[in-house]
Amino acid sequence: MIGECMIELSQNNELGEYKQSFAGDVFNTGVYIKRCLKDSAQVSFLSVIGEDKLSTQFLNLMANEQINSRYLYRCKSNKMGLYIINIDQYGERTFDYWRENSAARQLMQLIKQDSDKMAFSSVTTLFFSGISIAILSPDDLQDFWKFIKCRRSQGCQIVFDPNYRPALWPSPEHAKDAFEIAYSLSNVVLPGVDDHKNLYNHQTAAEIASHLEAKGIGEIIIKNGDLEVLVSARGRRTKIDIIPVTEVVDTTSAGDAFNGGYLSARQNGKSVKDAVIYAANVAGCVIQHKGAIVPKACFDTAITPLV
């Protein structure tokens, strides 16, 4: 799992008090993969954090979730990014970010300085998102592509979720150029319809499938909120209905949870169709709770019987 995890402050009550936690799209996905697979797979997080107390708290969270920190770098000069979730009187959520000097932006510099380059040779799957690459400088992004190409040439499966966030990119053209490279290097992709509507002006899942099939991607899973999922596996398309959740509390991490459920199910040998159904159940569990990472006991109660 390659990406950024941030310090999250969310409004806890009407007095303006905030609750502190940690979240990030790729990290959230890693947590749900590990919870689904338990001891049958090792999940590691490749990123950079600071050397401050909050960064140490994050390390403790990783240990509690059994996420391996072998590939986690620590930076003296930079700290983890931070964001605040604001909720207005109508329940609408807005976000304020402080990530310009995030430690995670130093990732490629620290990888290049790492003398133990062979440490990555044992990795069998790499997952990254549009956010993972949006925070990198242009030079670091070029080094990132070299890193991904090297891993793929060694037989590593590459998985990509575009997770388009316009505010993180200099322009839509910059994002599109990067996504096209990411797609060309990926074996499995997990786009959302909204990602492509905003960036490519694709209006339907079928349009997205056509665009990505032309790149020769073997496994394309197109998410569309609580609507059906369109799958294109080795050129064959299948629509898979999912059962919408009636009591939705917080959809912040719906896509991350779906990704975690899908990738864990495929790792466990489930078919693409069964993996999508399982992933929808994982996401359905998560959105019935507040926060990106739901309490482990609640998750295990809902999901363990489905494995």
pLDDT of 307 higher than 80: no
| Close Cβ partners of 18 (under 8 Å, ≥ 6 residues apart) | 9, 10, 11, 12, 84
DSSP codes, 16-29: --EEEEEE-HHHHH
| Close Cβ partners of 203 (under 8 Å, ≥ 6 residues apart) | 197
Q: At what angle do helices 25-37 and 272-286 cross, to 10 degrees?
A: 110
pLDDT for res 216: 93
pLDDT of 90 higher than 60: no
SS3 helix, strand, coil % of the chain, rounded to 5? Answer: 45, 20, 35
pLDDT for res 91: 52
Please report, to the nearest 10 degrees, the dihedral formed by the alpha carbons of residues 173, 258, 20, 127 taken in order. -60
Residue from 52, 114, 256, 274 carrying the catalytic annotation: 256
- Sign of the CA dihedral with 109 first, then 96, 223, and 263 last: positive
Computed over every residue of the chain, the mean pLDDT equals 91
Residue 233, classified by CB atoms within 10 Å of its CB into exposed (0-12), middle (13-18) or buried (19+), is: middle
What confidence tens digit (pLDDT) does each residue in 128-164 have? 999 999 999 999 999 999 999 999 999 999 999 999 9
User: Is 20:51 a contact under the CB 8 Å cutoff?
Assistant: no
Catalytic site residue 256?
yes
What confidence tens digit (pLDDT) does each residue in 227-260 have? 899 999 988 999 999 888 888 887 778 899 999 9
Cβ count within 10 A of residue 155? 9
What is the pTM (predicted TM-score) of this model? 0.93
H or E element that contains 155: none
SS3 state of residue 119: helix
**Phi, psi of 68, rounded to the nearest 5 degrees:** -70, 135
